[in-house]
Structures are given as C-alpha cells and as structure tokens.
C-alpha cells in the first residue's frame, strides 16, 4: 500500500512522489497535505524512502513495531492530568505493552523472550514519542528491575522472578541511588550483612542520607526491588552487590515489616512515574536472594567471586546495566527528531514580514537566522542518530556474546558515557530552540515542545549525571594516552617530546597561522575549500581532541605518585579541561559516525545533501570552538573568517531539502501530534493571501497612508 504525497515545488524527484506506507510515512492521520516548498532550479533529490530505511538501522522491524504502537491513542500522554491520574494511566499502559508483545525481546527465549538485546532497546526508545513517562516507567520495570535480575542473577533467580516481572505480575524497583550518594554508587551506605546463624542477609539503612531516593515504582506500584547495598560477611565489606527484596504485600499493597518509604511527589516532568524513597530497618531476606552471578556467600559466610579485583567486579556489575544509558541516548535523539519535524514543517508555512515583496510575506524558513537555528540542530540530530546506531550495535555485540571481552565492555561503557550526555543536552537545546522558533504557538501544550522539554529535563542527570559521565570518558582517554607511552623505548619518547616541543613552538609563535595565510594566498575561496574538505574537518576535530588530552596528560603526569590529597587537588585543577576534552572526543565520534554513514548512501542526490548536512555539523563544531583554534594556532584569522560564510552557503543549499530530511525520520502525525505541523497554518496563510489579493483586485481596498504620502510628494 502507498500514499501519494502532493508537494508542489519539491526538490527534483522528491516532488509529487509516491512514498511507501512503511515507517517512513506511518502514523499520518487524515488525507495527504500540500506543503509549501520553494520553487528553485534543478536540485539534487533526496530519496526519502531509502534514507528513512537507513535511519531505521539494523533493528528496523523492532522500531516499526514500536512506532506502530506509539501511534495508538491509548499510549499517548494526556495533558492536564493530575500526577495521581497520570500515574494510574501510565501503569495501565504497561499492561498494554505486555499484551502487544512490546517488552520481552531481551529476555531469555526459554522464558518467552527473544534474546534480542539490540532490538529491545531500539523498540523501547521509540516509546518516548507516545509519552516519556511511559518510556521511563517501562524502562524501570523491564530495563532496570528485570535486567538486574537477568544479568546479575543466575538461572534459579530467572526461573523464580522473571516470569512475574515480564508479565507485570511483579511490578518492581531498581533501588540503587541514595539521597546522600547520587552518582557515587560505590559509596552508598545501605548495608547487607550476612547472618550465618539464620542464613539470612540483613538489609539496613543506617541514617537518613542512606535512604534510596528517586526510585521509580517506589511510591505506589512496586511489589519487589533489586536493592544495591554493601555486602558485609565475616566482618569484611566486599563492596556493592544486588539483592532481591520483597517490598509490599501483594494483597494489601502495604509495606512489609521493617520497610518504609515516602512519595517524591510532583516533579518538573515525568509525573506518570511514582518516584519515591525507600528505607530498611534490619530487614531479613534469604541468603539466596543475593543476585550472585559475580559474587556469592556460602552458608558459612565465605565470600567467593569469579572476579578477584573488587574494583573490576564493581564496574563489571554496573556495566551489565549500561542499557539505561544506551536507551536514553536513543530516546533523546527521537525527541529531537519530533521537535525538528514539527518546527520545520511549521516554518515552511508560517509567514512573517514582507521584506522582499510589497504584497507577500516571507516564509520563516527563508530567513537565514531561522535556518541557522534549525538546520544546525538538524545536522547534529543526524550525527547523533548515526552515532547512536553504532552504540546500539556495540551494545548488542556485548550482550549477545558476539564480542564480549573485558575490553569490549569497557569500550561500550565509555561510548555510552560519551554519547548520552551530548544527545540529552542536545534534546533540551533543540526543544527549547524549536519552541522559540515557533513563537507563541510553540508555547502551547498542544504543540508538545514545552511538555517534552519538561519530561526530558531529568534525562541529563539520571542513569549517570552528564558531567560525571564525561569525567569517566576523560579518565579513559587519559589511560589510553598513558598506555601509548608506557612501554616505548627512550628514542621513541625523545622523538615524540621533540615533535611536541616543535609543534608547541609553532603554535605559540604563530608560524602555523602565517603558513596557512600564505597557503590560502589571501583567497577566501581557497580557505573555504580547505574547511569543507572531509579530511580537513577530520584533521581539525581530531587534532583538538589529541591536543587537549595530551595537554591534560602532561599536566597530570606523576599525580599518582603524589600524596592522596595533593593528587586530588591537582586533578581538580584540571577537571574543567578534562571534561572539555571528553566532550570534544564525543563530538568527534558523532562526526565520524555521520561520515561513515555517508559511505552507505548509494543514491547520488541523497549523498550530496547529506554531505552538506555533515559539513554543516562539522563546521558548526569548529565555529563553536573558534577561540580554541585561534589561540592554539590551528586556524589563521583568514581561514577562521571563512567558517561562518561557508556555513551560511550550506544553509542555502540545504533549504530546499529541509522537509525531505525531516520526513526521512519517519514520524507521522500520530507521533508528532503538534497542531502546527498538520498543515493548518498553510490553510490560514492561503486564506489570508487570497483575501488580500481579492481586495486588491476589486479596487475597493483602502489606500495605505504611506502610499498616499508618496503619491502626494511625487505630484509636487
């Protein structure tokens, strides 16, 4: 089945095209609508259907299934509900997901799952288009609570609890975060002390700051929880481990003895989730409730683990739960796509000011500033989407066992920690900019920008605060940098130091700038060609990362040999530079992912337009950091001046293809659900223009005072 989309003035073959009625066009309610496009000379054509399939990625079927569900009104957020009403609706929606086979892909095939880890996350993150509260509450139940039992437990635990978790018979919590230790999981204060006499663990929160906090499903719905606590046996603390704890009586829904809690109440967003606090007063659980894949306690209290290093054991356990960060990365990209789809559709129809005509007002998207604010974010969204697909592949490789070494897991952890901050910050920035770009209409709840932004606000601080995650990335970069020179001989190291010293001298004295200016011969055109070249962009972006890491690495050299306090102080002095380096590294990863995706595009027109979009992304990064490039001698003043001009030229090239590029995201009206993106604005504008034309044609239109004054002046 196909639907014909009438789009006068489209770019080449994209106009009046027939679009397959798959995910690239699914969810469109009502008849096809005419959308204003500029009439221009022959342009490269974007193959929207093919690009849409590429964007769906490896797990296209899972995404299509999830998007089909996300179109259903039963799953949509109902604005204006009280938080208690929203919570009740969201819990009911979980059962809807169970009934429609949307949540079991990652679980073992023996229990009715599909052992499909990548497909599970790909489908799950699409739920953000229906209601972010639903996406996160589903994530708590199956992505955190269920995954903790599956990945940290053994087959005995799987058989005992997973069927109930999968069917929603056991709604549950992931009780890790504490009031006093947010992202510092290793320092949590809740204890699980083994009592050999009763063969039980005693779960206890010794003070108020040790309460589990911000826990989804804790306030109302959770019957069970995976509780993270310091495992103590025979007087030795073996670090953080996970324990299954029953919270409430299934019949009365009251807390069991020794367990208490509070409701977190109304939040800035995600009010469909019953976040709450939990505390434990010497609560006893069976020894076998320890999820013991990575650490076990025998009947007599003897502790054993297949991982002898406590630090490595801790990070291995946390690494099994990385899918939360992976899914947030993907959900943030999806939310950005929804916002840009609505804002760009509206900007092609909304008219404001008649700068170039005495009669017709300009379409918003024809203004350069409007293009700047939307197209640069469109380019970043494409880059983030391609990078996410690589992250999802890495995640699936590890959890399917295809590539599951210690190094693979470390790479996955680092990649997730690098990309999640960028995509979640970008989503907030994009939602805010799209809101402003749509004026007062953007502030109306019916157009979703404000609602989505409120719900996604917390994405930047849960599943790892973004700044803390980037620090983790920076430490990995420093470790890799140090490893490069750990075993080199003196001659190699000497040559490296000489090269560094020479490079530093060139940058300090400005010789590199002079060389660039001479090479450019004062020609703006030559400078622009150098910047738009793929290798030129790669060199600039890569050099910045390498230099930043090398500079911090040199500054921190020997810090591990200093007394603890002095070493920490030295590290703290360079924390800002560390995090900047990690962010630059993550941006480079996104640029490389975009570039690699270009190689997979077979249609020449699509490749041309996507190359412009990739260049816009790369040059926007360079423009954002021009001060660094100038201060460090990587760009001459001559070449730096061309960056903005070339970006502006790219905006003009991309303009005719803007609608195609958002159409390729594959979200229809049932997903976007923004009144300003339905074609209603075009109808209003056409009505207004027809009215004005009719008045002029009738000869009865009143004369504008300015025109009258001009005539009078002429007659004199």
Active site residues per annotation: 463
> In Å, what is the CA distance from 659 to each residue of 34, 286, 436, 656?
12, 59, 19, 8
- CB-based contacts of 626, cutoff 8 Å, min separation 6: 635, 640, 643
DSSP string, 239-307: EEEEEEEE-B-TTT-PBPTTEEEEE----SS-TTS--EEEEESSEEEEGGGB--SS-EE-TTS-EE-S-
> In Å, what is the CA distance from 674 to each residue of 89, 271, 338?
21, 21, 9
Torsion angles phi and psi, residue 521, rounded to 5: 55, 35
Kindly compute the dihedral angle of the four CA atoms of residues 627, 633, 639, 640, in this order, to the nearest 10 degrees. 0
Q: How far is CA 664 from the centre of its chain?
A: 19
Question: How many CA atoms, within 13 angstroms, populate the side-chain half-sphere of residue 311?
Answer: 0
**Diameter of the chain measured on Cα atoms:** 112
Nearest to 93 by CA among 68, 114, 105, 76: 76
* 3-state SS string for 29-80: CCCCCCCCCCCCCCCCCCCHHHHHHHHHCCCHHHHHHHHHHHCCHHHCCCCC
Question: How many CA atoms, within 13 angstroms, populate the side-chain half-sphere of residue 14?
Answer: 30
Handedness of CA 109, 103, 70, 396 (dihedral sign): negative
| Crossing angle between the packed helical segments 490-509 and 511-520, to the nearest 10 degrees | 70
Strand intervals (E) in 402-456: none
Handedness of CA 176, 182, 183, 189 (dihedral sign): negative
Q: Measure the CA–CA gap between 130 and 135, rounded to whole angstroms.
A: 8
Nearest to 448 by CA among 676, 679, 683: 676
Helix (H) or strand (E) holding 311: helix 310-319
DSSP string, 486-538: TS--HHHHHHHHHHHHHHHHHHHHTHHHHHHHHHHTT-HHHHHHHHHSHHHHH
Residue with tokens 């096809």: 32
- Angle (CA) 383-385-387 rounded to 5° is 70
In the numeric block, which tokens belong to residue 709? 């004054």
What count of other Cβ atoms lies within 10 Å of the Cβ of residue 621?
Answer: 22
Q: Measure the CA–CA gap between 285 and 201, rounded to whole angstroms.
A: 5
Nearest to 474 by CA among 406, 572, 593: 572
> In Å, what is the CA distance from 699 to each residue of 245, 358, 693, 696, 704?
82, 17, 10, 6, 13
Q: Measure the CA–CA gap between 634 and 576, rounded to whole angstroms.
A: 21
């Amino acid at each position: 089945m196909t639907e014909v989309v009438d789009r006068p003035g489209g770019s080449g073959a994209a106009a009046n095209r027939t679009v397959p009625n798959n995910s690239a066009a699914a969810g469109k309610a009502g008849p096809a609508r005419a959308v204003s496009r500029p009439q221009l000379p022959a342009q490269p054509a974007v193959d929207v259907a093919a690009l849409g399939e590429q964007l769906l990625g490896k797990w296209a079927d899972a995404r299509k299934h999830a998007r089909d569900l996300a179109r259903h009104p039963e799953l949509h957020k109902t604005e204006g509900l009280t938080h208690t009403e929203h919570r009740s609706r969201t819990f009911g929606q979980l059962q809807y997901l169970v009934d429609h086979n949307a949540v079991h892909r990652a679980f073992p095939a023996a229990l009715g799952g599909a052992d499909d880890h990548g497909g599970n996350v790909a489908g799950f993150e699409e739920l953000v288009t229906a209601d972010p509260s639903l996406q996160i509450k589903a994530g708590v139940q199956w992505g955190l609570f269920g995954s903790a039992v599956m990945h940290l437990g053994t087959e005995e635990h799987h058989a005992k609890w997973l069927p109930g978790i999968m069917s929603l018979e056991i709604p549950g919590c992931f009780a890790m975060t504490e009031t006093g230790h947010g992202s510092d999981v290793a320092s949590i204060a809740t204890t699980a002390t083994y009592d050999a006499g009763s063969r039980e663990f005693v779960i206890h929160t010794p003070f108020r700051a040790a309460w589990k906090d911000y826990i989804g499903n804790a306030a109302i719905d959770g019957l069970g929880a995976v509780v993270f606590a310091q495992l103590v046996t025979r007087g030795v603390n073996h670090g953080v481990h996970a324990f299954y704890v029953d919270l409430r009586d299934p019949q009365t829904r009251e807390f069991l003895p020794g367990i208490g809690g509070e409701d977190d109440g109304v939040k800035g967003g995600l009010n469909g989730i019953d976040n709450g606090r939990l505390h434990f007063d010497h609560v006893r659980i069976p020894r076998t409730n320890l999820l013991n894949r990575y650490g076990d306690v025998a009947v007599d209290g003897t502790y054993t683990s297949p991982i002898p290093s406590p630090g490595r054991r801790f990070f291995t356990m946390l690494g099994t739960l990385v899918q939360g960060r992976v899914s947030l990365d993907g959900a943030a990209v999806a939310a950005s796509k929804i916002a840009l789809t609505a804002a760009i559709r509206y900007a092609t129809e909304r008219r404001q000011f008649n700068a170039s005509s005495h009669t017709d007002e300009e379409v918003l998207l024809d203004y350069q500033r409007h293009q700047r604010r939307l197209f640069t974010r469109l380019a970043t969204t494409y880059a983030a989407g391609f990078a996410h697909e690589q992250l999802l592949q890495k995640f699936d490789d590890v959890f399917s066992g295809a590539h599951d070494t210690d190094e693979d897991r470390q790479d996955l952890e680092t990649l997730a920690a690098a990309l999640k901050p960028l995509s979640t910050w970008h989503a907030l920035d994009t939602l805010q900019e799209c809101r402003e770009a749509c004026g007062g209409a953007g502030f109306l709840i019916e157009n979703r920008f404000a609602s989505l932004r409120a719900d996604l606000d917390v994405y930047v601080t849960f599943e790892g605060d973004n700044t803390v995650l980037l620090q983790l990335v920076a430490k990995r970069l420093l470790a890799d940098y140090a490893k490069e020179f750990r075993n080199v001989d003196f001659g190699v190291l000497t040559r490296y130091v000489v090269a560094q010293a020479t490079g530093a001298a060139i940058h300090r004295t400005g010789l590199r700038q002079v060389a660039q200016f001479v090479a450019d011969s004062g020609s703006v055109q030559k400078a622009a060609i150098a910047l738009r070249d793929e290798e030129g962009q790669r060199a600039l972006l890569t050099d910045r990362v390498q230099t930043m890491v090398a500079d911090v690495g040199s500054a921190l050299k020997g810090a591990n040999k200093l007394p603890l306090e002095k070493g920490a102080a030295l590290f703290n002095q360079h924390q800002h530079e560390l995090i900047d380096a990690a962010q630059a590294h993550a941006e480079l990863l996104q640029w490389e992912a975009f570039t690699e995706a270009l190689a997979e595009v077979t249609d020449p027109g699509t490749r041309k337009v996507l190359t412009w979009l990739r260049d816009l992304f790369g040059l926007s990064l360079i423009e954002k950091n021009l001060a660094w490039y100038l201060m460090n001698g990587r760009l001459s003043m001559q070449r730096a001046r061309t960056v903005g001009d070339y970006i502006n030229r790219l905006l003009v090239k991309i303009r005719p293809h803007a609608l195609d590029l958002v159409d390729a995201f594959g979200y229809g009206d049932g997903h976007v659900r923004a009144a300003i993106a339905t074609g209603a604005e075009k109808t209003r504008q056409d009505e207004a223009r027809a009215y004005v034309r009719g008045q002029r044609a009738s000869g009865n239109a009143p004369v504008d005072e300015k025109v009258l004054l001009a005539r009078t002046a002429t007659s004199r």
